[in-house]
Amino acid sequence: MTTRLYAMCGDITMLETEAIVNAANSSLLGGGGVDGAIHRAAGPELLQECRLLGGCKTGDAKITKGYHLKAKYIIHTVGPVWHGGKSSEPEQLASCYRRSLEIAVASGIDSIAFPCISTGAYGYPAESAAEIAVKTVRQFVAAETPLKEVIFCCFSEQDLQLYQRVLNEPAAK
Ligand code: AR6
């Protein structure tokens, strides 16, 4: 089965995919940006579950229920803080996408939406982050996978245009 990959512009907390991904920090105890929005929309039960997870390493991911969200699950991943690109940031960012997809498949999830991980408070340049996001997801779905839909949920028209351009580039790049 082929997986549908596409970008859209919107608030990830409103999506009806089976899972949404949170760009969290290593405490998994909430924060600003998309993390704050997800915790507000999911409700206080989310923080209670997150407290039991013991944090998360950069590049890794952990799953919780979605509580008051339409999404049934939240996959929390911790992107790298941008330090100029020579401190394994590209590998760590790729790992966020890969680990989130691995956990999704292991949990029987068939549709998932990602925010632009690390490109807000963590300062990762948007264009290279989009290239890594699309490349990593494409590599993952190139193998047999039950995933039906992977959405790149942008929060600005500018990010959306960036993703649309990267998605339209040949897959081999
Ligand atoms: N829906 C979709 N995307 C959003 C939303 C939303 N509701 N809100 C923001 N974005 P950021 P990071 C976009 O800063 O860079 C937190 O405090 C935003 O425009 O949320 O990975 C955590 O606790 C940007 O494109 O995440 C960590 O401490 C993208 O989401 C730290 O920030 C990521 O921006 C993580 O930083």
Report the distance separating Cα 37 and Cα 138, nearest Å: 27
* Digit-coded pLDDT (tens) for 92-122: 999 999 999 999 999 999 999 999 999 999 9
* Digit-coded pLDDT (tens) for 70-79: 999 999 999 9
Averaged pLDDT for residues 48-73 = 98
**Whether pLDDT at 41 is above 60:** yes
Q: Where residue 173 falls among pLDDT bands split at 50, 70, 90?
A: very low
61-65: strand order across its sheet: 4-9, 149-154, 111-114, 19-24, 73-78, 61-65
- Give the three-state DSSP class for 14: helix
**Whether pLDDT at 171 is above 70:** no
Which residues lie closer than 8 Å to 168 by C-beta, 6 or more apart? none
- Which residues contact ligand 1 via a Cβ below 6 A? 11-13, 23-25, 31-35, 37, 79, 115-122, 153, 155, 159
**Whether pLDDT at 169 is above 90:** no
Report the distance separating Cα 159 and Cα 9, nearest Å: 8
For residue 172, the model assigns a pLDDT of: 53
